[in-house]
Chains A and B, each alone.
Chain A
Amino acid sequence: MPKYSDPIDILLNALSEPVRRRIVERLARGPCSVSGLTEVAPISLPAVMQHLGVLEEAKLIVSEKVGRVRTVSLKPGALKDLERWAAAQSRPWERKLDHLDAYLKETKEEE
């Protein structure tokens, strides 16, 4: 597996795998136990652990052990970096035209 150092590479690599996306989608609805995550796809517990390791490295999830159960949850704002990256790739003029829209809305309120 290639080694990634750029945060966006790590993030997009983590999200490039369908099972890991199912896990993220499941966690977006709320925290889940590790064993509970085996239900998002027909996979074994060790496979889930491996995917969680990748998601944790990408700073998408956090896990906490309470008693004998390890609970996994999505980090708040986990996908903000992805949003920022996507926004930065739009053409400058597209963003400027969005700003024009915002300006028109603001001045409408001022009237």
Chain B
Amino acid sequence: MNMTDPKIVHGSFTLDRLYDAPLAKVFAAYVEAEARYRWLISSDGWTVHEYRPAGRAVAGAQEFSRFSPPGAEVVLTNETTFLEVREGECVILAYAMTLDGTPLSASLLTAEFQAEDGRTRLLLTEQGAYRDGNIEGRKEGTRGLLEQLAKEVAASAAA
């Protein structure tokens, strides 16, 4: 058995949320650029260096963002491609992330929407390939983020 750490870890996870809003609204917030910028791209106090929205979210549309976590000097990028968009039903997208120019993860993300008595259930499934970034020699300010990423990798691998 190979005891060295694998360079790439594969994993998947599912998250299930019920939102107190009609399906059309939740779906719109998930695909529209202005909404995505607010809840997804710029949240958590991250600094957004660049955001190129997808325009209309249709199969093949691409979205790019470049950002830094609060208090850290590292720069992350997220390149997203919408693969399948079924109005009010599901959105399948692929996204790849880099950390300081080094590939970090590549994922397939499926969002399924279900109406439940005026509320909306969102099922999010991610399947991905994650690289265990080399955390040696990184600046102290980035440690929290990297620990979080490492935990994500470990948790995803265990799931």
Contact = CB atoms under 8 A, between A and B. Distances in A.
A34 to B, nearest CB: 37
Interface residues of B, number: 24
Interface string B9-36: 0000101010111000110011000010
Interface stretch (B39-47, B53-61, B83-91, B131-139): B39-47
Given A97-B15, A101-B17, A92 B148 contact: yes
B126 interface: yes
A96 to B, nearest CB: 6
A102 to B, nearest CB: 7
Interface string A73-111: 000000000000000110111111101111111011000
B144 interface: yes
Contacts of A89: 148, 151
Nearest to A87: B44
A36 B92 CA distance: 60
A88 B39 contact: no
Contact of A91 (B13, B17, B39, B40): B13
Interface of B: 13, 15, 17, 19-21, 25-26, 29-30, 35, 38-40, 43-44, 122, 124, 126, 144, 148, 151-152, 155
Given A96-B40, A108-B21, 20 more contacts: A91-B15, A91-B152, A91-B155, A93-B13, A94-B15, A97-B15, A97-B122, A99-B39, A99-B43, A100-B19, A100-B26, A100-B30, A101-B17, A102-B39, A103-B29, A104-B19, A104-B20, A104-B26, A105-B20, A107-B29
